[in-house]
Amino acid sequence: MDISIVVPLFNEEESLPELASWIDKVMQENRFTYEVIMVDDGSSDNSWKVVEQLSAANTNIKAIHLRRNYGKSAALFCGFKVAKGDVVVTMDADLQDSPDELPEMYRMITQDGLDLVSGWKKKRHDPLSKTIPTKLYNATLRAMSGIKLHDFNCGLKAYRNEVIKCVEVYGEMHRYIPYMAKKAGFRRIGEKVVQHQKRKYGVTKFGLERFINGPLDLLSIMFISKFGKRPMHFFGSLGTLMFFLGLCVSIYLGGYKLYCLSQHIKYGLITDSPYFYIALTTMIIGSQLFLAGFLGELISRNSTDRNNYLIDKQRL
């Protein structure tokens, strides 16, 4: 199969028939074998009924219904799990992403050898209250991730099938699939300017909280990707450093006390010094961090997927 199109949706009953018809038209014109995986993320309107009707009328449309609204990342994860196409495309269900972009994105994956192609809505039909924070948000992500994409949050992306099988999206981490793909060894990441349509039906499902949750999720991904398989390197190193600093202060206080006694200089109890308690607290925290790293290492060693996805190609 050439293309799998994963469409997460939430309360988009009006746009679904038009989207399905538009996708089918583009696929037929380009003679692609395809499947559309519509994932209903617990819609409260008639979206699921519409999806069932579309799936009954067109065997290329697959339907997945989630028990409740888990979020876009969970919907994408469910779609990725069953996608069979050589190229997997994600797009929103609100008709703001144009299916006409799919043939070129497919070509960039299959002929140009890219692992991932991200859409860039260079000209947006959104108010300034949304576009300005988005530009600042993307600039921050470029600096933190080292990936030079203009629009991390664009829902229109294309992936080589192996990419989406090697990443796990949850929380609000659908925005950072390019970063997770890079960390998994898929470094051929491209970008394509895509047309941004005005929203035709309904209202946006995302609020300003994404600008708070997003960077926090990125920090989580950066930490997990770097230390998730070797927690001792982080917690153990930090714990050892803190314990060593506390020990040095304690040795200094004890040594200075002995010096004062040898020189008959009046000196109070070591416990009278606030530095003693600071040093003691630092040593305790250092010991706890070291133990946290040790326990994390034990858990990681017993993980069944510790070395999954290490092999790219093989001939046996």
Measured CA to CA, the distance from residue 75 to residue 82 in angstroms comes to 12
For residues 229, 77, 85, 105, the Cα torsion angle rounded to the nearest 10 degrees is: -90
pLDDT of 129 over the 70 cut: no
pLDDT for position 312: 44
pLDDT for position 32: 96
pLDDT for position 36: 96
Measured CA to CA, the distance from residue 314 to residue 310 in angstroms comes to 11
pLDDT bucket at 158, cuts 50 / 70 / 90: very high
How large is the average pLDDT for residues 187-209?
Answer: 75
DSSP state at residue 175: G
Q: In what order do the strands lie in the sheet with 87-90?
A: 61-65, 34-40, 3-9, 87-90, 157-160, 116-120, 189-193
Nearest to 287 by CA among 245, 227, 230, 229: 245
Count the Cβ atoms, other than its own, within 10 Å of residue 70: 17
Give residue 58's Cα distance to chain centre. Answer: 32
DSSP secondary structure of 275-294: HHHHHHHHHHHHHHHHHHHH
Reduce the DSSP state of residue 38 to 3 states and report it: strand
pLDDT of 305 over the 60 cut: no
pLDDT bucket at 56, cuts 50 / 70 / 90: very high
**CA distances to 35, 186, 242, 286 from 61, in Å:** 6, 29, 57, 55
pTM more than 0.85 = no
Q: Are strands 3-9 and 61-65 parallel, antiparallel or unpaired?
A: unpaired
CATH topology of domain 3-227: Spore Coat Polysaccharide Biosynthesis Protein SpsA; Chain A (3.90.550)
Give me 75's structure tokens.
């919907």
pLDDT for position 316: 38
Handedness of CA 256, 258, 260, 263 (dihedral sign): negative
Name the region of 269 (left: φ>0; alpha: ψ -120 to 50; beta: rest).
beta
Least confident of 80-89, 128-137, 248-257: 128-137
C-alpha atoms less than 13 angstroms from C-alpha of 147 in its C-beta half-sphere: 27
**Residue 191's beta-bridge partner residues?**
118
Reduce the DSSP state of residue 31 to 3 states and report it: coil
Please give the residue that has the higher pLDDT: either 177 or 171.
177
pLDDT for position 167: 86
pLDDT for position 105: 96
Least confident of 10-14, 27-31, 88-92, 165-169: 165-169
pLDDT for position 30: 95
Q: Dump pLDDT digits (tens) for 13-38.
A: 999 999 999 999 999 999 999 999 99
Please give the residue that has the higher pLDDT: either 286 or 235.
286
Non-local (6+) Cβ contacts of 237 within 8 A are 293
Radius of gyration of the chain (CA): 27
Measured CA to CA, the distance from residue 262 to residue 130 in angstroms comes to 71
